[in-house]
Amino acid sequence: GRCVFCRIARRQEPGTALLPCQYEDLVCFRDIRPGAPHHYLVVPVEHMGNCKTLKAEHIPVVKRMMEVGKAVLQRNNFSDMSDVRMGFHWPPFCSISHLHLHVLAPASQLGFLSRLVYRLNSYWFIT
């Protein structure tokens, strides 16, 4: 398929290392353009549309995606969960339609551009 996140999830992108993940139906990897010292993406293995298509039944998936995000931060020795930003880009501001959660830390160290791109509950980034 043409979706890069589907290829990564199926381990068909040798350049992208998958990080340990406690759920079989999710994968986690580093963002190729990090906006913070820690910047990970958590992605369902099965192709799901962007956050606009999320329904109530997806709440458990999103909660597990956030659990994975916290676990990967802790494994990488980041423990201050009050200084973490997690969220989704709102269409049309997401470049890839496959659902993906951004996990950024420390939020206090986001650069100027990243602070705009990952701005809390802006038009384009929802937490």
Spell out the per-residue pLDDT of the chain, length 127, in tens. 689 999 999 999 999 999 999 999 999 999 999 999 999 999 999 998 887 888 888 889 999 999 999 999 999 999 999 999 999 988 776 777 899 999 999 999 998 888 888 888 777 787 8
DSSP string for 73-97 = HHHTT---GGG-EEEEEPTTS-S--
Between CA 70 and CA 104 the distance in angstroms is 10
Single-letter amino acid, residue 99: L
The token pair at 57 is: 């039944």
Q: Given this model, what pLDDT does residue 40 score?
A: 97
CATH number of 4-126: 3.30.70.60, 3.30.428.10, 3.40.1190.20, 3.40.605.10? 3.30.428.10
pTM: 0.91
Residue 91: what pLDDT? Answer: 73
Which pLDDT belongs to residue 62? Answer: 93
User: What is the helix (H) or strand (E) element at residue 63, kind and residue range?
Assistant: helix 59-75
Predicted pLDDT at 1: 64
**Residue extents of the structural domains in the chain:** 4-126
**Active-site residue (options: 39, 89, 98, 100):** 100
Rg (CA), the chain: 14
| pLDDT attached to residue 120 | 81
Q: Which residue do the tokens 């993906």 mark?
A: 100
Residue 38 a catalytic site member = no
